[in-house]
Amino acid sequence: MAMKPVTFTLNGLAKAAFTEDGQNLLDFLRRGVGDMAPKYGCGQGGCGACTVLLDGVPHLSCLTLAETVEGRRVDTASGLAGATISPLQEAFMDRFAAQCGYCTPGMLMAATALLAKNPRPNRDEVIEAISGNICRCTGYEPIIAAILDVAEGRVGA
């Protein structure tokens, strides 16, 4: 199988790795680069657990060819925390917005993209922003509340 070199920026750091022909970005990030934050849920683009940001826009890494990120910026949930966890992660913790936690990296990235574009979203906008992400534990309400906490300055102010 042909291998292709890919250079890109992952969570602000320059990366170079080889991708196999036809390899999806999720597999490339996890097996090729070692970033285990994006999760394999369905492999069909239905669950959003694999959501990463490409140039700031949420994408499904399971449906993205790895080689298409050449020269682009990729952000995953691994890059959210600095010395301490980010306000969004703190809000997820405070609101018990993660139970099994499998959807959480995808939810965090969908919410990150929303808040970057629209720092004061209303509830409908939050619901729309996470409509491509499935959670089977929380019933969504704690997740929505956590994102609104950040938007309305109740966390990380």
Tokens of 77: 């949930």
User: Which is nearer to other proteins, 88 or 130 (by Cβ)?
Assistant: 130
Q: How far apart are the first and last CA of the chain?
A: 51
Q: Is 2 in the site for other proteins (CB under 8 A)?
A: yes
Q: Which one among 131, 139, 152, 153 touches other proteins, defined by CB under 8 A?
A: 131
Residue 113 or residue 151: which is nearer to other proteins going by CB? 113
* Closest by Cα among 140, 147, 141 to 125: 147
Among 13, 14, 16, 44, binds other proteins (CB under 8 A): 44
Position among 63, 85, 90, 154 found at the interface with other proteins (CB under 8 A): 63
Query: Does the protein bind other proteins through residue 58 (CB under 8 A)?
Result: yes
Report CA-CA distances (Å) from 84 to 58, 91, 143: 24, 13, 20
Cβ(77)–Cβ(37) under 8 Å?
Answer: yes
3-state secondary structure of 102: coil
Of 129, 135, 146, 155, which one interacts with other proteins (CB under 8 A)? 129
